[in-house]
Structure 1
Amino acid sequence: MSYLLPMAFALFLWWFSTGLIFYLDQLPVRTFKWTMAGATAVLAAALYAIWASAGDQSAFAVYAAFTAGLLAWGWQEVSLYTGFVTGPRKHACGAGCSGWRHFGHAIAVNLWHEVAIVVVAVVILSLTWDSPNQWGLWVYLLLWAMHLSARLNVFLGVRNVSEEFVPPHMAVLKSFLTRKPMNLLFPFSITAATAGTLLLFQQALAAETMADRTGYSLLAALAGLAVLEHWLLMLPLPVEKLWRWSLPHRPGAAKSHKSVPPRIDYTALNTKLTP
């Protein structure tokens, strides 16, 4: 139970929080200001929890720091897919755009989002500096690594791009999704993720204290999910069934004739988006 309970907790928290973000990002645009206000309040609470638990080496404090780190990462996802923190580029690439130029456009679309990730990482690092409980930092960094690897693989080309998870108001992102049987990065990504997962499981099994056993078990479960997510990019499976409850069942989701998009001009794209 000392291993299974943390793993089950990590799996449930990842599944539920991911589905909740999908649900919120598919709501009418007029709700986004409230979503961002709530997410920012949660971020502030998560940072406080990371700071408050930094000196505590109990198993409960490990759970608290882990949950707070995951919630801090959730703010990044919400801010991107609601369109509040994206990048200076607001339009899709035209036909024929490829190579490093296309990669530069992809960075420009997400630039402020990536900067925000670094800023929050530095804040968490400063809050836990030289403290025994740094599990909030580790989970945040692990989620960042998962995010970066998945984004690069989707950009380079995978079988299952899961474009149904991209909300309509962020359709510009679809021009940077590439469908291919394989890309050269994927074997390295899946190998590194698998090796990292095995090492974390090994650390959990070798841990001498309940706090370390709990922390490594939580991270190992999350790393195992990273391996699963990478394989799902290459397998033509109906991934959306995992979060069917969170996806919209009405054509007007993420759209409203009375809604005003937050700080971004979501003018309808004239360029046909390449899947």
Structure 2
Amino acid sequence: MKILVTGANGQLGQELQVVAKHYPQDVFIFVGRDEMPLNHPAQINSVLDHHNPDFIINAAAYTAVDKAESELELTDLVNHQAVASMAKWAKQHSVQLIHVSTDYVFQGDSSTPLTESEETNPINVYGSSKQKGEQAILQSGADAVIIRTAWVYSTYGANFVKTMIRLMTERDEISVISDQIGSPTYAYDLAMVILTIAHSDKWNAGIYHYSNEGKTSWYDFAIAIRDVRSLDCRIKPISTEQYPTPAKRPRYSLLDKTKIKDTFAIEIPNWEESLRLMVGKL
């Protein structure tokens, strides 16, 4: 199978390159923004025509949540229009597609884990652009799996875990938001799941949720990071209101993973277990 993966230089894209080594029978084509600029959707068809893949994994996105509030056009090009182009090409060429979406499509006012059938109602530009990307795939009729994930981190790129380790090494005390609830996702685990689904004989198109198991806040996540690294830093819990950002964040985005586990017979590690593995690799 010839698999084209977008977002080659992102956290998930780099983890997919690691996991791809478990599939020597496949030909992987990893493209970044230089090879396939998603802010120019017109060029996407020519890249796909050139490589003519059997399968597409879209791991690329505009993910600068706060900058998105002022870069509406760019955000829409990458997260919506480029996705629409990929989905249309996949439909026309009978190629399967896995697309990675986000918990930010939800409003975040739930109090129970969010299922795939929950109504989407994003509260920021990034979330809205990702919602439109999902809708474009569904409207295209492409044979696609959409995976919504949350709080992604990796040994690659910039993310919460690496930022916390740096800040806790530099400072005696930091403040972290304690009233936003969810579950982190180790990008390596997500990469494993994506390639498992790509090769599954149980392929079933639709929307799925994936994050690591368990429930936490950013504050408790930071505490766990500190303890795993044995760092000496005081962590002070603060409210969302005490840390204003250009983009609003969902207060509650814990994802229900029942559907993905049942459909593809997937076992999901607890977030604390995956955090220890990731920190051990740093």
TM-score norm. by structure 1 comes to 0.30
Say which structure is richer in helix: 1
TM-score norm. by structure 2 comes to 0.30
Say which structure is richer in strand: 2
Structure with the larger RCO, 1 or 2 (CA within 8 Å, 6+ apart): 1
